[in-house]
Amino acid sequence: MEIVHVYTRLRGELGRQCVLSDRRAEPLIDVPPQPDLSTHFIRRPSREQGLQAARDTTEHQVNTERFESDSKGMDHSEGGWPKDINPQEAEQTIRYRKKVEKDEGYVTSILQLGSVMEHCIRQNHALDIYEEYFDEEEEEEDQEPPSAKTINVFRDPTDVRRSISALSFHPDGGRKLVAAYSFLGFQRRLGDPSLDSYIWDMEKPNCPDVTLKPPSPLLCIHYNPKDPHTLLGGTASGQIAYWDTRRGSRPVELSSLDQSHRDPAHNVLWTQSKGGTDAFSASTDGQVLWWDIRRLSCPVDRLVLDMSREENLDRALGAVSLEFESTMPTKFLVGTEQGVVVSCNRKAKSNAEKMVCTYEGHHGPVQAVTRNPFFTKNFLTVGDWSARIWSEDVRESSIIWTRNQSSYLMDACWSPVRPSVFFCVKTDGVLDVWDVLFKHNEPTLSVKVSDWPLYSVCVQEASGVIAVGSQHGDVSLMELSDKLKNQQKNEKTLLSAMFERETKRERLLEARLKEVRLKERSRSQQSPEEELRGERGEEEPLELLDRAERDFNHEALLLIQHYILKCT
């Protein structure tokens, strides 16, 4: 309800001086109360209010600096001898001992202690409390879901954090781990990152065991499987460096700069040889070089990965990863930046024949190539967003592949114990454990290891410990649950059956594709006249247009006729 008061005035009177006078009070508006409006209101009889007589507190977190501890042994030396006796002198000590033995208290004590002790010794003979009581019982299948836990983390001790580009375990037992640190970014960060790489001892996570000082950051490093003291690494300057841990932290030998790769040496591997002195390296400049460790001044052999077999460096494929299996010493696989895996044979007669065949399938650089240790004909490649398993005989495509994941896969390796399990690491910091026999569509176990992208992974053969290296310079050691570490029954047979099945499928698909292609070719061969006609028509487009119009009109007329006939 609006309360409005209206008054009118002549226009001529506007602006005239006000003449005020008294007037009686008059009610302008009278608004009576409306009791029915009270039904809209609810009386609130009580209100609740919380009260707490407690002190206000806030939450704070404090973390102390890491406590650096070091394990040292203690050697107990002789002591406690009274002042007048020199512990070095046998006579004096013997005399003292005899004196103690003659003491009354000694005799009674020993007799009593002796009887107590004999009782316990006899107990040990009577019953062995640690014996295996239930030998024949079979171990139950562990129903727990697979899991992995971090046992240890080794952090980059320098201030400027570099990423881990390669990891390798010590060949015997693997109590040591070598990590190659390098800065893979494009521009150098503020502050000079140090060039060192470290060998870590698993028991001492606080400080590295040995420091390796290369002339430029190492991109990959490997222990020699035959000689655990020697290491081989590829540097960012393209040179190959060879260390002996007994002889200090500088490389014993370095390949000469002009003979080495022009691009960073991405991968270096030891090959089979009598003295364990042969190695080969690959780099994104498109070359694969073979070296003899004793003479790193000049490579023994050179292969240019040029697919047109002309040894043209400009058109060569850049190699990013290498694979060598010691049971097949003449063959090796190279993963390239272009997404192609090249299988090569070392013993071919000419360089052109060295590249046997290629496997295409990835869209981006093939970050890792590894053969299955149990089925060496099948190998795993990772690159871009998926991991693919290939069989050597099938060249068209991979036999098993994973779905495209949400982030890049940077490295992968097979489990040395279980033939169907492989591990891969991604740039979102997750380690994926895939069990090919269990499921194909997603990893059996995904563990988020760190917030930083993970760049490399390596499995130790004996204990099944996995080392994962991140961009921030942290190496995390993970241990898997037992189910993933022990081979299940029939695993090998099931896996070989699966590989065969998939290979067969791919072969069938290949054959079908070939058939289709043949048909197309034969079809195009059958009609060369049509092609000629087509050529003539092209010379006079106007004629073509006319013809097209005529055809169209003709067809349109036919349709209309058809409709008319239908309606009538």
Partner 1 sequence: MAQLADVEETLKRIEAHKGVIGTVVVNAEGIPIRTSLDNSSAVQYAGLLQDLTMRARSSVRDMDPQNDLTFLRIRSKKHEIMVSPENNFLLIVIQNPCE
Least distance (Å) between residue 460 CB and partner 1: 23
Least distance (Å) between residue 343 CB and partner 1: 49
Query: Two tokens at 199?
Result: 């060998």
The binding site for partner 1 (CB under 8 A) comprises 76-82, 96-97, 100-102, 105-107, 109-118, 120-122, 124-125, 128, 130-131
Three-state DSSP state, 426: strand
Alpha helices in 333-386 (DSSP H): 351-354
Nearer to partner 1, 52 or 115 (CB): 115
Least distance (Å) between residue 83 CB and partner 1: 12
b or e along 157-185 (b: 16 or more beta carbons within 10 Å of the residue's beta carbon)? ebeebbbbbbbbbbbeebebbbbbbbbee
Please state the length of the chain. 568
Least distance (Å) between residue 103 CB and partner 1: 9
Nearer to partner 1, 131 or 139 (CB): 131
Nearer to partner 1, 84 or 258 (CB): 84
Least distance (Å) between residue 149 CB and partner 1: 24
CB 471 within 8 A of CB 455: yes
Cβ-based burial of 473 (10 A; exposed 0-12, middle 13-18, buried ≥19): buried
Nearer to partner 1, 43 or 83 (CB): 83
Least distance (Å) between residue 378 CB and partner 1: 41
b or e along 345-366 (b: 16 or more beta carbons within 10 Å of the residue's beta carbon)? ebeeeeeeebbeebbebbeebb
In 3D space, the residue among 142, 148, 166, 145 whose CA is nearest the CA of residue 433 turns out to be 148
Nearer to partner 1, 51 or 111 (CB): 111
CA distances to 214, 221, 293 from 217, rounded to whole Å, are 6, 11, 20
In 3D space, the residue among 424, 425, 450 whose CA is nearest the CA of residue 435 turns out to be 424
Least distance (Å) between residue 104 CB and partner 1: 9
Nearer to partner 1, 72 or 562 (CB): 72
CB 235 within 8 A of CB 264: yes
Least distance (Å) between residue 91 CB and partner 1: 15
CB 221 within 8 A of CB 231: yes
DSSP-derived secondary structure letter, 39: G
20 C-beta neighbours (distance < 10 Å), count: 5
Nearer to partner 1, 101 or 549 (CB): 101
Least distance (Å) between residue 85 CB and partner 1: 9
